[in-house]
Amino acid sequence: MSHDTTAPPRPGQASVIAWWAGRVLLLLLGLFVLAATSYFTFFAAPEDGGVTTLIDWALAAWSYMVGIGYLWVAVRVGANPGLRTAAFVFVIAQMVFSLIKIVWYDEMVLPVLAVDALLLGLLALGKRR
C-alpha cells in the first residue's frame, strides 16, 4: 500500500490575480454602493431621485444589504473560502437590483451591470482553496 504524498496543484498565477482582483473590486463596489445609496436615501431631493415611497425605502434597504455584503465578503472570504458562494449571491442580487432600476426608474446602469459581470468572471476564474 503506497501513500500519495504529492501536494495538490497550486492555483496558477492568473487564478490568484483574478481572485484578488475580485476581492478588491468587491471592496470598491461595496463602498460605492453604500455612498450612492446614502446620498439618494438621505440627501437627494425627490426630483433628483431621492427616496420618497415605501418601494424606494425597500430598494434602499436592498442596496444597503448588498453594499454591506460586498464589504463583508471582500474582507472575510480570505479567511473563509466558503463565502465565495455568498459573493456570487450578492453580485447576482446587485444585478437584479440594477435591472429593477432600469425598468422601474428608467435609469442607465449598464456600466454597473458590466462591472458586476466582470466581477462574476473574476470570482469564477479566481483560485479555489
Q: Report whether 99 contacts 70 (CB < 8 A).
A: no
Q: Which amino acid appears at position 73 of this protein? A: V
Q: How many CB atoms lie within 10 A of CB 104?
A: 11
Does the predicted TM-score (pTM) go above 0.85? Answer: no
The DSSP secondary-structure symbol of 39 reads: I
Q: Report whether 50 contacts 10 (CB < 8 A).
A: no
Pick the more confident residue, 127 or 23. 23
pLDDT digits (tens, 9 = 90+) for 72-123: 999 987 767 778 889 999 999 999 999 998 998 888 889 989 999 999 999 8
Q: Report whether 86 contacts 26 (CB < 8 A).
A: no
pLDDT digits (tens, 9 = 90+) for 1-55: 556 566 555 658 888 888 889 999 999 999 999 999 999 999 999 988 899 999 9
Single out the residue of 26, 33, 40 nearest to residue 71, CA to CA.
Answer: 26
Q: Which ranges of 8-126 would DSSP assign to H, the alpha helix?
A: 13-38, 54-76, 84-105, 110-125
